[in-house]
Structure formats: structure tokens, C-alpha cells
């Protein structure tokens, strides 16, 4: 279940892949939903699903970070420069995810209304904290989401390079804890 110095445990593996699928789904949903018009059946449903899933993702990321700091991390594979770049890239991935969730919250709650999460609970609003909050947070949300997708693309290329060119264990140990 837990990580060791050379492999990820299944909790870290599950958290990685569930968040990867959810993040890509939220990006596609966000991209599509902002152009919906008022007469579309999805005009209200799509933002509802986007925000609800986003809030749950935020919880998942917090849990993932807690899991990470209370576990050993498998040592990085590659030369010193590659290891350094990978650590920085992973830290930026986490920071962008947090920034996107926080700005998503700031967009949605600027008008004083909380976020209804799948009709299950409502995340309260604390109102607007600064002028033009929805617009500014909206821009940061949008560009941070684009930056995240750009970095994820490099991240995937790096994973595939490790697998097919260096033929090392980097991708395999994120797929199964038996490698």
C-alpha cells in the first residue's frame, strides 16, 4: 500500500491515475462549457458538474499531498539534471493544480453563493475578497489550466522517453507496484 524507496505503493498509483483522468476531463469540460449558450440543455448542468467534480478533486489533491509527505518517495531515475528537472516539474504540477482549484473557488463564490457539490453538500462562500474577483480569478484559472496541460504534455513525453528510449522502470512503477 505504501511507497518504498524504489516503487510507488498502490495508493499513490491510484491517486495519480484517478487525478490524471479527472483533471483531463475537467479541462475538456471547462473548455467546452464556457461557449455554451443559454438555450443549451447543458448551460447549467455542465458548470454544476465541473464545479462539483473540481471541489472533490481539490480534496483528493490535499489527501494526495498528505500521503506524499507522510510516505517515502521512490528515488528518481536518471542523471542529476533529469532528477532535478523532474522534481521541479512535479512541484509545479502540484502548485498549478492547487492554483486552479483555488481560483475556481474564487470565480464561483464571488457573488456570495456557495458551491453546491453534487447536491451532497454546499461549500460556503466568503463573498468577494477583492475587486473584479470573478474576472481576475477567471483569467488566472484559464491560463493556469492551459499551462498545466502544456506541462502535462511534457510530463507524458518524459514518461514515454524513459519507457521506450531509456527502457527503465519509471513508467512501470507508476502502473504497478510489483515491478
Question: Of the candidates 6, 10, 14, 31, which one interacts with ligand HEM according to CB under 6 A?
Answer: 31
Task: Work out which of 9, 16, 98, 117 binds ligand HEM, going by CB under 6 A.
Answer: 16
Residues 14, 24, 66, 95: which binds ligand HEM (CB under 6 A)? 24
13, 36, 85, 86: which one binds ligand HEM (CB under 6 A): 86
By CB under 6 A, tell whether 88 contacts ligand HEM.
no
Footprint of ligand HEM on residues 126-155 (CB under 6 A)?
Answer: 138, 141-142, 145, 148, 152, 155
For position 51 contacting ligand HEM by CB under 6 A, the verdict is yes
Q: Give the DSSP letter string of the chain.
A: ----SSS--HHHHHHHHHHHHHHHHHHHHHHHHTT--TTSTHHHHHHHHHHHHHHHHHHHHHHHHHHHHTSPPPPP-S-HHHHHHHHHHHHHHHHHHHHHHHHHHHHHHTTS--EEETTTEEEPP---SSTTHHHHHHHHHHHHHHHHHHHHHHHHHHHHIIIIIS--STTHHHH-TT-
Burial label, 133 (beta-carbon count in 10 A; 0-12, 13-18, 19+)? middle
Q: How far is the CB of 74 from ligand HEM (least distance, A)?
A: 6
In whole angstroms, give the CA distance from residue 44 to residue 170. Answer: 41
Minimum CB separation of residue 45 from ligand HEM in Å reads 13
Binding-residue total with ligand HEM (CB under 6 A): 43
Site of interaction with ligand HEM (CB under 6 A): 16, 20, 23-24, 26-27, 30-31, 34, 47, 50-51, 54-55, 57-58, 68, 73-74, 76, 86, 90, 93-94, 100-101, 104-105, 107-108, 115, 138, 141-142, 145, 148, 152, 155-156, 159, 170-171, 174
Amino acid at each position: 500500500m505504501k511507497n518504498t524507496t524504489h516503487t510507488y505503493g498502490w495508493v499513490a498509483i491510484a491517486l495519480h491515475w484517478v487525478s490524471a483522468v479527472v483533471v483531463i476531463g475537467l479541462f475538456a469540460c471547462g473548455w467546452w462549457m464556457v461557449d455554451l449558450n443559454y438555450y443549451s440543455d447543458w448551460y447549467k448542468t455542465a458548470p454544476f458538474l465541473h464545479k462539483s467534480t473540481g471541489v472533490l478533486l481539490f480534496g483528493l489533491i490535499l489527501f494526495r499531498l498528505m500521503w506524499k509527505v507522510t510516505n517515502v518517495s521512490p528515488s528518481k531515475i536518471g542523471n542529476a539534471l533529469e532528477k532535478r528537472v523532474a522534481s521541479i516539474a512535479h512541484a509545479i504540477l502540484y502548485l498549478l493544480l492547487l492554483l486552479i482549484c483555488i481560483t475556481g473557488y474564487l470565480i464561483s463564490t464571488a457573488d456570495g453563493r456557495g458551491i453546491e457539490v453534487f447536491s451532497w453538500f454546499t461549500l460556503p462562500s466568503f463573498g468577494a475578497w477583492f475587486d473584479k474577483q470573478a474576472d481576475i480569478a477567471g483569467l488566472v484559472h484559464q491560463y493556469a489550466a492551459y499551462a498545466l496541460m502544456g506541462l502535462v504534455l511534457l510530463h507524458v513525453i518524459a514518461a514515454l522517453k524513459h519507457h521506450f528510449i531509456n527502457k527503465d522502470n519509471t513508467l512501470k512503477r507508476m502502473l504497478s507496484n510489483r515491478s
